[in-house]
Chain A
Amino acid sequence: QVQLVQSGAEVKKPGASVKVSCKASGYIFTGYYMNWVRQAPGQGLEWMGRINPNSGGTNYAQKFQGRVTMTRDTSISTAYMELSGLRSDDTAVYYCARGTSYSFDNWGQGILVTVSS
């Protein structure tokens, strides 16, 4: 079965960077886009961008252009999302989600990233 297992919670200071991971199993990693979606406390879902694990090509939401970098390591079926210049309003749960049929069919368990001085 498809599984997306994300790394553990992070606490960062304002201005720092965070890099979170998402390890995929149960399917061919290079066959599906991997998306990143975040959810601030008590708020809705926000699409951040996606990576094509086969080519490494990316698409980012305009809001995050210049601050987000999505990469992958096909040898270990893992996708990464790095967000720089962290601010308090970046405090959120960050999800990876597999893309298929223009939707997101499998989700990781989420990683809480807390930005606090």
Chain B
Amino acid sequence: QSALTQPASVSGSPGQSITISCTGTSSDVGGYNYVSWYQQHPGKAPKLMIYEVSNRPSGVSNRFSGSKSGNTASLTISGLQAEDEADYYCSSYSSGSTWVFGGGTKLTVL
């Protein structure tokens, strides 16, 4: 079970939009619509932001959206705000009732 591939870092200015990619294989991202995204601020537990590719849990801003094409999933954050600065991780269900995470992406709001 190899980790999903994410860019190490992305950045954007307040008000802009950014997209974080998450690339896997046909055994995980490409094989199931069970990609989720997590936001983690320093020293804190992760927080679920997107589940089942594009669904937002109650209370999560609609500035966060998710999509998937083939073996690559994406998280888009629109109208960047200072509080969005954090680490973001994707995760996917994988064959054999297991899960795999991406390596994480550090978002910097300039």
List A residues at the B interface (Cβ < 8 Å): 35, 37, 44-47, 50, 59, 61-63, 95, 97, 100-110
Contacts and interface: CB of A to CB of B under 8 A. Distances in A.
A101 B45 contact: no
**Chain A's interface: helix, strand, loop or mixed, by majority?**
strand
Interface residues of B, number: 27
Nearest to B102: A44
7 contacts: A44-B101, A46-B101, A47-B91, A47-B98, A59-B97, A61-B1, A102-B36
Interface stretch (B10-18, B46-54, B76-84): B46-54
Given A44-B104, A105-B51, A107-B45, 20 more contacts: A37-B101, A44-B89, A44-B102, A45-B46, A45-B91, A47-B100, A47-B101, A59-B98, A61-B98, A63-B1, A95-B45, A97-B46, A102-B36, A102-B93, A104-B46, A104-B48, A104-B91, A108-B45, A109-B45, A110-B45
